[in-house]
Amino acid sequence: MLITNATLLTLDAENRILEDQAIYLENGKITAIGPEKALQAWYPDAETLDAGGQYVMPGNVCAHTHFYGAFARGMSIPGPAPKDFPEILQKLWWPLDKALDSDAIRLSAQIMLADAIRNGTTTLLDHHASPNAIDGSLDVIADAVRQSGLRAILCYEVTDRDGPERTRAGIEENVRFIEKYAIRNTQYESATQQISNQQSPTPPLPHSKISATFGLHASLTLSDTTLDACRNAAPEGTGFHIHVAEHEADEYDSLEKSGQRVVDRLHKHGLLGPRTLLAHCVHVDAAEIALINETDTWVTHQPRSNMNNGVGAAPVESLLRAGVRVCLGTDGFPHSMWEETRFAYMLQKAHHRDPRRMPGNLLFDMLAGNNPALAGSFFPDAPLGILAEGAHADLIFVDYHPHTPLTPENLPWHVIFGFHESMVTTTICGGQVLMHDRKLHTLDEAALAAEARELAPKVWARYEKYTEKYTEKYTEKYAEKYTEKYAEKYTEKFAAKV
């Protein structure tokens, strides 16, 4: 397919803005970029997609999300509003994930994937939980991803909070899925190559737009035994995707359980490294930041979620200054990565009461550099997140008409103050057109929304049932645990905090 009449934002090392360009896509990759007339002459018979002079740029990446949260929209939480993040977990997320059956998992994923296509986000790292439907849940999501045409890295969050049987089931679900996708995926290219040399039909290998990692909930719901079991069960070369220090409770709990802070505890159990992703890290201290950097572990920042949960502002600049690769995710909010970037920009300034904090160019490096570098490590057969020959053909058309000059140097501030997801008109992933002129091709949004509206009352009814149980079970247990009593107890250990 030949895309014509495009203004390219290449976002590669040269970071060029090129007018009157064409891009040729073949077998999921960008195979040629050049002046429109030249490419039209080279590919006279190619199917053509006219970009109408719009900006054409790489699709966005979301480094941390939860498809399973789709039914939370508009849902009411019974009783008094949760007063802090541990209560949000107990009253909202833990009963909701229990309410999900296979249909609800599929629909949640489809709804979220349609949202991602519309918002121009072409790759997502999802973190899934459904304690009453664990076995095969990642296959249900993978089917939805395949149908959508997007790229995703999936995992199941292992936790001890629902008993040892479900802990084991969660571990098995990760291992099964990793063996099916992540490991065989890295062999995909060479196998395809060998088979095409023999001129046989396409091999029945897993879809190359799906990969996997090993999911863990958070230190505060995982025992030492389970951490070791996960480490030992994870196939060679696998990394972990886990929430870290989203709220002080995670640090208090870790200090109580092990005498160590969360990052130190995870390191002791062999869970850090260049394939591991830590979500949030709002309450990590200087030593934890140093350890994250030493082990070359990834971090992802979700400012909208942090603000909504009232958990504080992550030390993003300290992490970056230490050398940590920090990405951006949505944590289940709409997959609008420019909006997430805008919130990240504002949050640090508001939090520190200093407009110099969180410079736009640093933030843009996270969005356009770290996010695709992380996602690309799961799809290593081609570069991801740049417009260049040989790169994955994941791109979007943006109907943006700047009223001031747009240059490679000031692009971050155009993105922060000017770009909006409603300007995304076309989304392409792996060379497949998923949305054109704002019309989705692979998912029927209206039909999915109608089906979800039918199902929502049933999911909500099950949720309410579990909420009552959770409230009874945990209110007493957690009320004492996560209050000032612990904060006081650990004040000294928190003194080193950046």
Binding interface with Zn ion (CB under 5 A): 331
Choose between 63 and 429: whose C-beta lies nearer to Zn ion.
63
Residue among 254 and 427 whose Cβ is closer to Zn ion? 254
Which tokens is 437 given?
A: 């002129």
Cβ proximity to Zn ion, 308 vs 361, nearer residue = 308
Query: Which C-beta is closer to Zn ion: that of 93 or that of 466?
Result: 93
- Are the beta carbons of 156 and 170 closer than 8 angstroms? yes
| Distance of closest approach, residue 70 Cβ to Zn ion, in angstroms | 14
7, 366 Cβ separation under 8 angstroms: no
- Name 472's Cβ contacts closer than 8 Å, sequence gap at least 6: none
Which residue, 63 or 387, has its beta carbon nearer to Zn ion? 63
Nearer to Zn ion, 230 or 391 (CB): 230
What is the C-alpha to C-alpha distance for residues 370 and 364, in angstroms, rounded to an integer? 9
Closest approach, Cβ 332 to Zn ion, in A, equals 7
Q: How far apart are CA 132 and CA 110, in angstroms?
A: 20
Closest CA to 364 of 330, 303, 395, 410: 410
Cβ atoms of 100 and 68 closer than 8 Å = yes
- Report in angstroms how near the CB of residue 239 gets to Zn ion at its nearest: 16
Q: Minimum Å distance from CB 64 to Zn ion?
A: 6
Rounded Cα distance, 67 and 277, in Å: 18
Q: Which CB atom, from 301 or from 342, has the smaller least distance to Zn ion? A: 301
Nearest approach, Cβ of residue 130 and Zn ion (Å):
15
- In contact, 307 and 245? CB cutoff 8 Å: no
Cα separations (Å) of 126 from 3, 108, 146, 222? 30, 12, 14, 20
Which lies closer to Zn ion via its Cβ, residue 282 or residue 411? Answer: 282
Q: Which of residues 253 and 331 has its CB atom nearest to Zn ion in the complex? A: 331
- The residues, ordered by sequence, that sit 6+ positions from 354 with a Cβ below 8 Å of its Cβ are none
- Shortest CB 382 distance to Zn ion, Å: 28
Residue pair 13/373 in contact (Cβ under 8 Å)? The answer is no
| Shortest Å, Cβ 143 to Zn ion | 23
Question: What is the closest distance, in whole angstroms, from the C-beta atom of residue 279 to Zn ion in the complex?
Answer: 5
259: its two tokens: 């005498």
Residue nearest to Zn ion (CB): 331
Beta carbon nearer to Zn ion, 63 or 144: 63
Q: How far is the CB of 241 from Zn ion (least distance, A)?
A: 9
Q: Which residues contact 105 (CB under 8 A, 6 or more apart)?
A: 68, 128, 130, 133, 137, 140, 141
Nearer to Zn ion, 36 or 331 (CB): 331
CA–CA dist 116, 121 (Å, integer): 5
Q: What share of the chain is helix, strand, coil (3-state, %, to 5)?
A: 45, 20, 35
Cα angle 394, 396, 400 (rounded to 5 degrees) comes to: 155
Distance from first CA to last CA of the chain, Å, rounded? 51
At its nearest, how many Å lie between Zn ion and the CB of residue 300? 9
Complex with Zn ion: residue 59 or 215, whichever CB lies closer: 215
What does the chain come to in residues? 498
What is the nearest approach in angstroms of Zn ion to the Cβ of residue 333? 10
Q: What is the DSSP string of 35-60?
A: EHHHHHHH-TTS-EEE-TT-EEEEPE
The nearest distance, CB 331 to Zn ion, in angstroms, is 4
CB 260 within 8 A of CB 495: no
